[in-house]
Amino acid sequence: MKKSAQNKDRLFAEKLLPGDFVFDEQVASVFEDMINRSVPGYSTIIAMIGVLAERYCQEQSNIYDLGCSLGGATLAAASRVTCNEFSVIAIDNSTAMIDRLQSRLTELPELEQKIECRCELLQEAQISDASVVVLNFTLQFIPLADRANLLKKIYNGMRPGAVLIISEKIIFPDEELNQLFIEMYHSFKEDMGYSKLEISQKRAALEKVLLPETLVKHRDRLQDIGFHSIDVWFQCFNFASMVAFK
């Protein structure tokens, strides 16, 4: 698969006025570099989403990448799945992200015919005939009050035996562990070339936008909705990815 060129993320390198993080054109232009340098194991998660999609995609079904950004999971799934007559539906509420994904797809004609891009709010999106649903670092940006209803809608739109793959930044009920993993994560970001100013300013910008929860909260909510066989398949510091089945 052809890889897109990555612009270096320097958005928080200079002193900025306070403000919330927004998935605008500025962020979209550096997002690939940003996410790979900000989420430990991100490339592994993307690759394994492709593997899981290949295993669980059902014929004549849909694969949803909800909060697709530049389409990392979308492309991983579309390039690996071999079952008949499937569609990958990539949804994001950022026009800048969807525009860039559609532009990228014009350079990947063998995948473009399998992928439908939609710019819309996930709370308003229609989910149907889904055998694979991906929420890759997406639910954490949905208002807390909307999360259960969104997951219920996803569950209702899934086929029996379908898989939900949900990756999230998490918090820990043990405050000592929580602080340890935050410090380790910040060390990781410094090792990836981010300065203390960049780390501090981005953290402040995300504070009211990215609202993490514990793994127990995620499991309990998914189980209450009706999902089963829920567990973590990847974790590094305060980042984890889970699977849940209908």
Structural domain boundaries in the chain: 20-153+160-212+223-246
Helix, strand, or coil (residue 211): coil
Beta-carbon contacts of 174 under 8 Å, excluding residues fewer than 6 positions away, are: none
pLDDT in tens, 121-173: 999 999 999 999 999 999 999 999 999 999 999 999 999 999 999 999 999 99
CA distances from 7 to 11, 16, 45, 200 (A): 11, 20, 21, 21
Give the pLDDT of residue 17: 46
pLDDT the model gives residue 205: 85
Contact at 8 Å (CB) between 62 and 131?
Answer: yes
Predicted pLDDT at 199: 84
Residue with tokens 């780390």: 199
Q: What is the mean pLDDT of the chain?
A: 92
For 62-84, write each residue's pLDDT tens digit.
Answer: 999 999 999 999 999 999 999 98
* Residue 14 pLDDT: 61
pTM: 0.93
Could you please state the CATH topology (level 3) that the domain comprising 20-153+160-212+223-246 is classified under: Rossmann fold (3.40.50)
Q: 195 — phi, psi (to 5°)?
A: -85, 165
pLDDT band at 1 (very low <50, low <70, confident <90, very high): very low
pLDDT given at position 8:
81
